Amino acid sequence: MEGKRSTPTPSDLIQKIREFSRSILVDLCNGRSPVIFINKFRTYCKNSAENCFCSSNVPVGAKVLTLRKQPHAHRIDVLLRVLLIVQQLLQENKHASKRDIYYTYPSVFSDQSVVDRAINDICIVLKCSRHNLNVVSVAKGLVMGWVRYSEGGKKFDCISSPNTAQPVPVQVEDVQDILSFAEYILVVEKESVFQRLANDKFCSLNRCIVITGRGYPDVPTRRFLRLLAEKLHIPVYCLVDSDPYGFDILATYRFGSLEMAYDVEFLCVPNICWLGAFTSDYEKFALPSQCLLPLTTEDKNKIEALLQRCYLQHEEPHWRTTEDAGKRCEV
């Protein structure tokens, strides 16, 4: 997975699935336990040195699965069942959600997270993204503003009503004919802030695109934002709560999630800029005291964990001091 990864076709993936299945079958026929290597990737670590490779596509080890260990045997069982479903989706040119796959064998899978892990394992083994498997998510993100595009032949015109929310496209790879007069993209953490901007006719007064992932962003929202950033070449700003969870959401947009670190090059937005809110805004804008909430023990522990992430040492060190971050992000 080093370097820029090419996009595999369905026929390429079907061939890889057959080769992978055949190798397992050969081992079983010869009385050997199949050995499956699942490369490990990460978006951050606690290494303060600059040689941690977290920002690259280089694996940082591998998980070795074998039938000799019971937990591994169940994981392999789940992987092969999901792989069979994926093969059928590719052969029939159909799509399914992760939830659809879970309900195929609920007694075997036992929990949605088991299916999620199997899908990630398959993506790593086949060196592809989740959408390449025809596995889709129900997008929860919203978009409004000065942008027009088509998805699968259907046109979405936000420009004609710039303050009306539209759902983020599910199959981002099918998005075409992007047209925009926006000067920047504004990402907001919460749907309530997005709705307030819509009510205030923000996009009528500002040539921009506004996106929300409604909290932690899902894959379609992150992929759509990445696509717009690549195609439009305009600034991307992010407005989140001034708390550790808001910062973690910002970091998810900027660096990707640990769960899908293998696909980070297609999901992160490296040029996103932290617009706020900052703790210093309380005094700067004379905000009322009811705007503040005391940090809980859980909040403080999360802050300590966030500060140890390597990208706050190497790539965005100014984010450690919110005042410096604000100076670098003036609209």
Instruction: Tell which residue, 285, 316, 277, has the closest CA to residue 44.
Output: 316
Residues 6 or more apart in contact with residue 102 via CB below 8 angstroms: 109, 112, 115
Q: Is 94 helix (H, G, I), strand (E, B) or coil?
A: coil
Q: Which of 44, 102, 103, 282 is catalytic?
A: 103
DSSP 169: P
Preceding omega of 277 cis (within 30 degrees of 0):
yes
Q: Residue 208 pairs with which residues in a beta bridge?
A: 184
Distance, in Å, from the CA atom of 213 to the CA atom of 4, rounded to the nearest integer, reads: 26
DSSP symbol at 30: T
State the Cα–Cα distance between residues 206 and 222, nearest whole angstrom. 23
How far is the C-alpha of 188 from the C-alpha of 195, rounded, in Å? 10
Cα gap 48→63, rounded to integer Å? 24
Known active-site residue 103:
yes
Q: Which residues are catalytic?
A: 103
